[in-house]
């Protein structure tokens, strides 16, 4: 079972979780071929309050000219002032099994020198997949989830005013086809490849359905469809509900920016000695005035005195015995007065010494 230890930057805090229950295969893996598809398009946002592209953005001007031409209106390029218009890139994710008429969210981002697309409306923009085919058409009012206002050298801004989204802003025009087990074999792709987890998934499926599953590699489990595959959706649903106790390699995650250390319960150590201490140097400056006695030829002099104090803290030398419990490691380091950033240095040194049996990952 897993135990999670959380070390927060301000203070060393131990967060022990209860033993984790076995996870569903649905949460550990996905069916191969069931995936999102990225869509990309170009469009223009109109109705801006003078915060659009400048006359330096030639593509924005040409977009306006071409749009007007499609409506039978001829305009002079030199007469176009695009301050209320912004050229944008539109992106979206087309989910698996999407059908014509479904709506999806879209993201909109300025590609010119517009100051803000707040309050704008995206005009009809076709969205293409990597193969060049149009799968959706986007249009609608843009929401940036904030604001940008100001003038006269001052202003306020919340969130990013040149990027936003349109909720349900694209209509799917062409659906995606996903072949499930076309060759009679269903393949499950683990979210985090691991040989032990893959073997356990195959064994649990076999325990329920018989010998139909086999781990092909650390990230794939192949499952033969029983009964001719007449009810493949029901079969997949039953597979997803099977519980498996996942496994993973011992890992320590360090975040130097926040001083956070997270360690899994399967992190083990060999016997090792750790010292913890520090040296504090304090420099104090003071000013004194030297005043000569009455009726003497001396002069008043201002002098500065510098006092240096060196204080060495008591060094704590502790011995960490061989253990497989993270709580033992953290408790011992906490008793030594180690801060989260000290913990990071100590763990890295322990790994270099071969005493920490885990992978250290910096984020």
> What does pLDDT average to over the chain?
80
Distance between CA atoms of residues 55 and 82, nearest Å: 7
Q: Among residues 188, 231, 262, which one has the least CA distance to residue 27?
A: 188
**Residue 348 pLDDT class (50, 70, 90 cuts):** confident
Q: Three-state DSSP class for 253?
A: strand
Q: Which long-range contacts (CB under 8 A, 24 or more apart) does 54-59 make?
A: 54/82, 54/83, 54/112, 54/113, 55/80, 55/81, 55/82, 56/113, 57/82, 57/87, 57/112, 57/113, 59/87, 59/111, 59/112
The CB density around residue 99, as the number of other CB atoms within 10 Å, is 9
**Residue 17 pLDDT class (50, 70, 90 cuts):** very low
Considering the entire predicted model, what is its pTM? 0.67
Q: Three-state DSSP class for 264?
A: coil
Report which of residues 182 and 143 the model is more confident about. Answer: 143
**Residue 311 pLDDT class (50, 70, 90 cuts):** low
pLDDT for the residue 4:
33
Written as six digits, the tokens of 180 are 């499930």
Residue 310 has pLDDT above 60, yes or no: no
Instruction: Give Cβ neighbours of residue 340 (< 8 Å, ≥ 6 apart).
Output: 7, 8, 9, 12, 259, 260, 261
Q: Among residues 174, 222, 167, 220, which one has the least CA distance to residue 194?
A: 220
pLDDT for the residue 163:
93
pLDDT for the residue 99:
92
pLDDT for the residue 251:
82
Q: Among residues 266, 255, 271, which one has the least CA distance to residue 343?
A: 255
In degrees and rounded to multiples of 5, residue 332 shows phi and psi of -65, -45
Instruction: Give Cβ neighbours of residue 61 (< 8 Å, ≥ 6 apart).
Output: 55, 77, 80, 82
- Most confident listed range (8-17, 219-228, 288-297, 340-349): 219-228
117-146 residue pLDDT tens: 999 999 999 999 999 999 999 999 999 876
- Most confident listed range (146-155, 290-299, 318-327): 290-299
Residue 105 has pLDDT above 90, yes or no: yes
pLDDT for the residue 308:
52
Q: Note whether 284 and 306 are within 8 A (CB).
A: yes
Helices and strands (H, E) in the chain, number of each type: 6, 24
39-94 residue pLDDT tens: 999 999 999 999 999 988 888 999 999 998 888 988 888 888 889 999 999 999 99
pLDDT for the residue 349:
82
Residues 239-248, mean pLDDT to the nearest whole number: 91
The CB density around residue 317, as the number of other CB atoms within 10 Å, is 10
Q: Note whether 172 and 137 are within 8 A (CB).
A: no
pLDDT for the residue 8:
33
Report which of residues 115 and 251 the model is more confident about. Answer: 115
Residue 12 has pLDDT above 50, yes or no: no
Q: Among residues 19, 8, 17, which one has the least CA distance to residue 334?
A: 8
* Max intra-chain CA distance, the chain: 120
């Amino acid at each position: 079972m897993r135990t999670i230890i959380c070390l927060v930057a301000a203070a060393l805090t131990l967060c022990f979780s209860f033993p984790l229950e076995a996870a569903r295969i649905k949460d550990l893996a996905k069916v191969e071929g069931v995936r999102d598809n990225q869509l990309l398009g170009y469009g223009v946002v109109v109705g801006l309050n003078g915060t659009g592209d400048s006359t330096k953005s030639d593509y924005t001007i040409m977009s306006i000219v071409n749009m007007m031409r499609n409506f039978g209106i001829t305009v002079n390029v030199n007469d176009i002032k695009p301050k209320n218009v912004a050229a944008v890139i539109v992106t979206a994710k087309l989910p698996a099994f999407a059908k014509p008429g479904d709506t999806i969210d879209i993201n909109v981002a300025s590609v010119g020198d517009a100051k803000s697309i707040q309050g704008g409306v995206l005009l009809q923009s076709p969205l293409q997949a990597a193969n060049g085919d149009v799968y959706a058409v986007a249009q609608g009012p843009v929401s940036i989830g904030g604001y940008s206002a100001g003038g006269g050298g001052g202003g306020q801004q919340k969130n990013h005013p040149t990027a936003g989204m349109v909720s349900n802003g694209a209509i799917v025009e062409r659906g995606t086809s996903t072949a499930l087990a076309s060759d009679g074999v269903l393949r499950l792709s683990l979210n985090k490849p691991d040989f032990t987890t893959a073997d356990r998934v195959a064994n649990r499926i076999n325990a329920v359905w018989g010998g139909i599953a086999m781990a092909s590699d650390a990230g794939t489990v192949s499952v033969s469809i029983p009964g001719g595959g007449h009810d493949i959706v029901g079969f997949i649903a039953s597979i997803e509900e099977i519980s498996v106790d996942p496994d993973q390699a011992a890992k320590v995650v360090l975040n130097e920016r926040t001083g956070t250390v997270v360690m899994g319960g399967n992190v083990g150590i060999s016997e090792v000695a750790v010292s913890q201490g520090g040296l504090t140097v304090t420099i104090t400056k003071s000013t004194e005035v030297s005043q000569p006695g009455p009726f003497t030829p001396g002069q008043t002099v201002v002098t500065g005195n510098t006092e240096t104090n060196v204080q060495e803290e008591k060094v704590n030398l502790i011995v960490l015995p061989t253990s497989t419990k993270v709580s033992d490691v953290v408790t011992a380091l906490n008793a030594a007065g180690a801060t989260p950033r000290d913990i990071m240095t100590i763990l890295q040194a322990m790994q270099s010494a071969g005493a920490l049996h885990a992978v250290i990952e910096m984020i």
